[in-house]
């Protein structure tokens, strides 16, 4: 398994020859938010087998980025959102409600619950995703702790866990470093990678913080060391890759 953390909630997942991209934000801005750090490498969007969309907030379902991927790449989206994408010229859509699955070659993608307030007339419930093949991965999307989270583990090889948002404050329906560490304790993956931090920042405020919001992933790692010491935290910087090593031999 190879992981490329593009930034925010955008992650390239390569597993068993299948290439998946999560919640793509590929440009330099989304609404009032500006990208901090490197632009995505060109090979991030090459030869994708599917795109996973967790919910309809603009920093997770960025239409300009989705159109860059071309019309043939399937979008795996929350149940009830196919009409939203079709009305915007994006018709290759597979809807998944929590518990439903879709097969992509040797890999199965299953939607999971998520606790994240949408508002603004967005009625479809958000989801996370389990990606299962020779390894088992959880992409949380954007969520707070929710009942049943522990049931997604404990045989996870890797969990992509949000640890912040996109500004100096954090609204409801998100995980901060402490709650994200509690999520890691519930999920009990072999490896946890913090995502959703330090990549998007409101216009103007970045000047006040040249390296905005680099603290949350480090605080997350420290809290996981206390709450879930058997979980290995990998701090993957935006634009960097991580290769998941083989599992340890059975005792």
Determine the pLDDT at residue 212: 58
In this prediction, residue 210 has a pLDDT band, given cuts at 50, 70 and 90, of: low
| Count of structural domains within the chain | 1
Residue 249 domain-assigned (yes or no): no
Question: Can you give the CATH number for the domain in which 122 is found?
Answer: 3.60.15.10
Residue 248 placed within a domain: no
> How large is the average pLDDT for residues 5-32?
95
Q: Does residue 79 sit within a domain? A: yes
Per the domain annotation, does 218 fall within a domain? yes
pLDDT band at 163 (very low <50, low <70, confident <90, very high): very high
- Is a pLDDT exceeding 90 seen at residue 122? no
pLDDT for residue 209: 58
User: From CA 234, how far away is CA 114, in angstroms rounded?
Assistant: 23
Closest by Cα among 126, 128, 125, 129 to 108: 129
Main-chain phi, psi angles of 219, to 5 degrees? -65, -40
Residue 208: predicted pLDDT: 56
Cα distances from 226 to residues 147, 183, 191, in angstroms, run: 22, 13, 15
Residue 211 reports pLDDT greater than 80: no
134 phi and psi angles, rounded to 5 deg: -70, -15
Percent of the chain with pLDDT over 90: 73
Distance separating alpha carbons of residues 28 and 153, to the nearest angstrom: 35
Q: Which domain holds residue 49?
A: 2-243
Question: Which pLDDT band holds residue 121 (cuts at 50, 70, 90)?
Answer: low
Q: CA-CA distance, 3 to 40, in Å (whole number)?
A: 13
Please give the average per-residue pLDDT across 182-193, as a whole number.
97
Residue 251 belongs to some domain of the structure:
no
Q: How far is CA 101 from CA 108, 194, 221, in A?
A: 7, 25, 31
So what's the pLDDT on residue 224? 98
pLDDT at res. 125? 86
pLDDT of residue 246: 77
Asked whether residue 47 is assigned to any structural domain, the reply reads: yes
Residue with tokens 């583990």: 153
Q: Is 155 within a domain?
A: yes
Q: Is the pLDDT of residue 207 over 70?
A: no
Q: What is the pLDDT of residue 101?
A: 98
Residue 184 in domain: yes
Task: Give me 211's structure tokens.
Answer: 């390296």
Tokens for 18, please give them: 């299948």
Q: What is the pLDDT of residue 126?
A: 93
Q: Which of 137, 97, 98, 155 is nearest to 16 (CA)?
A: 137
For all residues of the chain together, what is the average pLDDT?
A: 91
Mean pLDDT of 133-142: 96
């Amino acid at each position: 398994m190879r992981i490329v953390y593009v930034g925010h909630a955008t992650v390239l997942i390569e597993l068993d020859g299948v290439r998946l991209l999560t919640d793509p934000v590929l440009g330099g801005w989304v609404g009032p938010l500006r990208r901090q750090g490197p632009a995505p490498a060109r090979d991030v969007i090459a030869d994708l087998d599917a795109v996973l969309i967790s919910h309809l907030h603009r920093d997770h379902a960025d239409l300009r980025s989705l159109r860059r991927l071309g019309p043939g790449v399937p979008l795996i989206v929350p149940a009830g959102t196919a009409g939203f994408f079709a009305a915007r010229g994006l018709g290759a859509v597979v809807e998944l409600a929590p518990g439903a699955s879709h097969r992509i070659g040797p890999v199965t993608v299953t939607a999971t619950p998520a606790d994240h307030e949408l508002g603004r007339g967005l009625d479809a419930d958000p989801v996370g995703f389990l990606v299962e093949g020779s390894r088992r991965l959880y992409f949380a999307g954007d969520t707070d702790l929710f009942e049943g989270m522990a049931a997604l583990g404990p045989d996870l090889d890797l969990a992509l866990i949000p640890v912040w948002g996109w500004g100096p404050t954090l609204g409801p329906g998100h995980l901060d470093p402490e709650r994200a560490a509690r999520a890691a304790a519930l999920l009990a993956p072999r490896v946890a990678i913090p995502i959703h931090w330090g990549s998007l920042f409101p216009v103007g405020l970045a000047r006040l913080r040249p390296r905005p919001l680099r603290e949350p992933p480090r605080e997350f790692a420290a809290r996981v060391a206390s709450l879930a010491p058997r979980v290995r935290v990998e701090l993957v910087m935006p634009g960097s890759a991580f290769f998941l090593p083989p599992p340890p031999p059975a005792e």
